[in-house]
Structure formats: C-alpha cells, structure tokens
Amino acid sequence: MALFESVYNSTMKLTESAEGLMKLNLRLLSLYTSVLIMLIIVTLVLIFINIILIKFVLKFVPSGNPEKLNIAFFHPYCNAGGGGERVLWTSIQAIQSRYPDADIYIYTGDTDATPQQIKENCQQRFNITLEREPQFIFLNFRGFVEAKYYPFFTLLMQSLGSAVLGAEALSKFRPQIFVDSMGYSFTYPLFRFIGGCSVISYTHYPTISSDMLQRVSDRTEAHNNRAFISQNIVLSFAKLIYYHVFAIIYGLMGSCAHVVMVNSTWTNNHISSLWTLGAKVNTVFPPCDTEKFSNIPLIDDSEKEFKTIVSIGQFRPEKDYPKQLRIFQKLLESVDDIVAERLRLILIGGVRNAGDAKRVSDLKALSVELGIDNKVIWKINATFSELLQEVQKGTFGIHTMWNEHFGIGVVECMAGGLIVVVNDSGGPKLDIVTPYEGKVTGYLASDEDTFVKVLKSVLTMPDQEKLKIREAARASTCRFSESKFCESFLACTQHILDRARRS
C-alpha cells in the first residue's frame, strides 16, 4: 500500500511540475512575443524617422558641386597643433595631389580662430602648405565633446556629444565623402544612413580598450579610473558592466565606416577586436616630417653646452608629465654635481584650451616643489623651426605615456638624432623603438627607477657608441615619412574616392 502511495505522490508531483513548466513556457513565450512585437514596432518607427530625415537632408541641407568630388573632414580641433592635426593636413595634401579638382571642407569647432590664422598655424607648426585652400565649416557645439563637462559616464556622454556635434555638421553641409580624422565613431551612422555619405575613419586611439577594462577589473587607480571608484568593489563592478556595454555600442558605431584606418599595431589590435562587423582595419602609420629632422647635423654630446632631455607632445593628462618631472629629479640626485649642472629638461607641447593651460601651471608648480624649476624649460605651442632647434641641441628624447597609441614625438626625436627612452608599452614598443637591421634604436622603461637607470647609463656612454644608436634610430624612421603616409592613405581610400568622382 505504501508503495502505491509513493508512486501516486511521485506521479502527482511530476504532473504538477509538467503543468508548472508548461505555464512557465507559455508565459515566457508570451513575453518573448511581446518583446519581439515591440522591437518590430520600434524598428519600423526608426526606419520611418530615418526616411523622413533622409528626405529632409537631401532637400534642405546644402551639398557641394555635384560635378566635383567633395570631401569633408570632421576634425573639431583642427587648430590644436598635435599629431592628429598633422594627419588631417597631410591627408588633405595627399588627396589634392591625386585629385587636384576636389573640393575639401573641414568641420571645425575652432570658432576663436579665422581661416587665415588656422592656415598660418598649419604652416608654422607642420611646415605644410596646401595647393588649394579648404573651406571651413564652423561648429558651435564643440563643448559637447569635452570631458570637463562630464564628471561621470564620461566616455558615453562624450560619444553622445559627438553625435550631437555630428548632427550640427551634417545640418550645415552634406558631403559625398565624410572623413573622421579624430575617432568620433558615433558620427558614422548619421553620415552613412541619413547623409548618404561614404564614411572613412582614421582612428588614433580607441575610445575604450581591453586595457581600460583590465584596469577597472584590477581596481587600479588611473586618470580615467579615480580612487573613489578603484577602492570600492561595488562601484568597480558597476563600472565594469558599464564599460562592457559601452564597448558593444562602440563596436557597432565603428562598424558603420566603409574604410577604417588606424595609426599603429596597438590600435589595430584593439579596434579589430571591437569593430568586428565592419570593414577591414588597415594600419597606416601617421606622417612625420622625418626628412626635415633627418637633416639636422649630428653633434657629439661633448660639444654641447647642456645635456638636454627633450619631451614632445600635447599637455594632456594621459601623457603623464608629472612622471617626467619626478624622473628628472631622481636623475639629478643620482649623478655628481658636475653632470647635474649640465642637465636640462625641456617640455615642448601644444596647449589647446584652458584645461591644458591649467595643467601646465600645475606642472610648473610641481617643478618648484621638486626643486628643479631652474633646470626645466617650457616651450608652449612652439613653431616648427623652434622644435627643430631644440631637438638639435638635445641629447635624449623621453616619452612616459602608458599605452601611447603611436608616438609621433618619439619618431621626431629619433629622426632628429636623439636617443629615446620611452614607456614599455603601446605604439612606441610595438612599432617605433624596435631593432633596425639588428641595431639598437632606443630604450624601453616601465617605471621611474628604470627610466633613471637607462638615462644614467647612456650619459656615461662614449660618443662613438651613442652615435651608432642615433644613426640606427634615424635610419629606422624612414618607415614613418610623409610620403609613406600619403602612399598608404591613398591606397586605402582610392576605391571610395574614384567611385564618388565617377558618380
């Protein structure tokens, strides 16, 4: 009897479980159906809105001469004077050499400068003169992409801000070809699907990378992972989820480009892993005026008045200039007084805005605090001729940024005959400071003490040994010349440009 009761009870439980499972499945099916219907409705609404926007753009937004090839570069900071701006101007130069009748436009947020001032700055900083002057389309909403306005969710808000800025750009002019030379991927869907443009991307640095995710996961403090977050496990976990979701969205936006170029192996590795649905990622090393720097005579250190450490770059937080000042202080303390008396550190950099100016002011205060201000020289927004002069007088080139995407300043130092000591990461490690024909071209260092050790070691080298390194470094920079960049840039974009010209 007990056996029958046991079987009966088991059967009833199975029946109840089956009924419960069926009810659960029906509920899930209902939920999935509702979600699917909602997605279909949202998709249809978005398609309808997109059609309306396309018709509006085609009818009311001005466009270029239909009989000419017209290309618009999206570069909100075209007057900044950094490596990204050299890419912009050299790209225009390359297009004009192949397509002399093309009309070039630049979307810029530099409303505080006139077109003439921008062109003069280009000539002074990069020694570039264009065959035909581009037309400038000034944008008023550049503030939407500046990090200072977004203390939280900075990456997402800046990216959404770039979409707003892109919408302003598209509302003022619709080109055949849209070239983003700064890496604002959230503008790509606007210009591709609403503007009907061919989209070309040149990305210097991924907005998010696996290294950033790793830093948050490891709870490592950094300029983009503040202490109150890195020290809190809950906030770190929340930020990690936010980063993963953003990485997916970023990948979808970037995949909207027809042609994708990046500036280094390091950037290629990250963009290829994120923009998985789009075009092939091409590495096109940025242009460096290696010819001008290579013409600088190589003078032995023994003939120079000072042994100068040269740093070239923009005064941005990720460049880690405080580290350079601390390295210099430690170097001064580690050598005898006679050597220390001849040592100098010169910081040559561009200041784009009030934030950069404040950063320079803070760095000067730090140099005073460290007691080295009398040996630190500042060259703010130096002209190209001034840059050449300082490189010629220098002994070392230093670069401390962790995971620098490329490092044009490093190439300029090497071409100019300086012995470089750079952070053991990113583009400098993978692409630039590598053996050339089996010869040493420079040195890698990971922390302050290693930098000091390498600098001190090179200081004691005979001039003849230094000369071998300098000559090998200079010879290796031929890979990064302007002519190489133009050749690679046109090879990647020619099919898009030719098709647009024929249409």
What does the pLDDT look like over 258-307, one tens digit per residue? 999 999 999 999 999 999 888 899 999 999 989 999 999 999 888 888 99
The candidate with the shortest Cα–Cα distance to 376, out of 384, 364, 359, 385, is 364
For residue 499, the Cα-to-chain-centroid distance in whole angstroms is 29
Give the pair of three-digit tokens for residue 91: 């790209």
pLDDT of 489 reads 98
Question: How sure is the predictor about 4, in pLDDT bands with cuts at 50, 70 and 90?
Answer: very low
pLDDT of 222 reads 59
Best CATH choice for the domain 290-480 from the list 2.40.110.10, 3.40.50.20, 3.40.50.2000, 3.40.50.12280: 3.40.50.2000
Q: Where do we find the tokens 């130092």?
A: 413
Q: Look at 96-110, 143-157, 318-332 and tell me which has the smallest mean pLDDT.
A: 143-157
The candidate with the shortest Cα–Cα distance to 71, out of 47, 42, 98, 32, is 98
Residue pair 97/259 in contact (Cβ under 8 Å)? The answer is no
**290-480 shares the fold of 70-287+483-502:** yes
- 3-state SS assignment for residue 152: coil
Question: Whole-angstrom Cα distance, residue 266 to residue 280?
Answer: 15
Question: Whole-angstrom Cα distance, residue 426 to residue 60?
Answer: 45
Q: Where do we find the tokens 């031929």?
A: 478
Q: Where do we find the tokens 């390295």?
A: 327
The candidate with the shortest Cα–Cα distance to 256, out of 205, 208, 187, is 187
Q: Regarding predicted confidence, which is higher, 39 or 408?
A: 408
pLDDT of 22 reads 62
> Is a pLDDT exceeding 70 seen at residue 317?
yes
Domain ranges of the chain: 70-287+483-502, 290-480
Mean pLDDT estimate for the chain:
88
Best CATH choice for the domain 70-287+483-502 from the list 3.40.50.2000, 1.10.1750.10, 3.40.630.70, 2.60.40.10: 3.40.50.2000
> Is a pLDDT exceeding 70 seen at residue 24?
no
Query: What are the angstrom distances between the C-alpha of 232 and each of 38, 226, 237, 418?
Result: 38, 10, 9, 44
Question: How sure is the predictor about 12, in pLDDT bands with cuts at 50, 70 and 90?
Answer: very low
Rg (CA), the chain: 28
384-393 and 408-415 are packed helices; what angle lies between their axes, rounded to 10 degrees?
Answer: 60
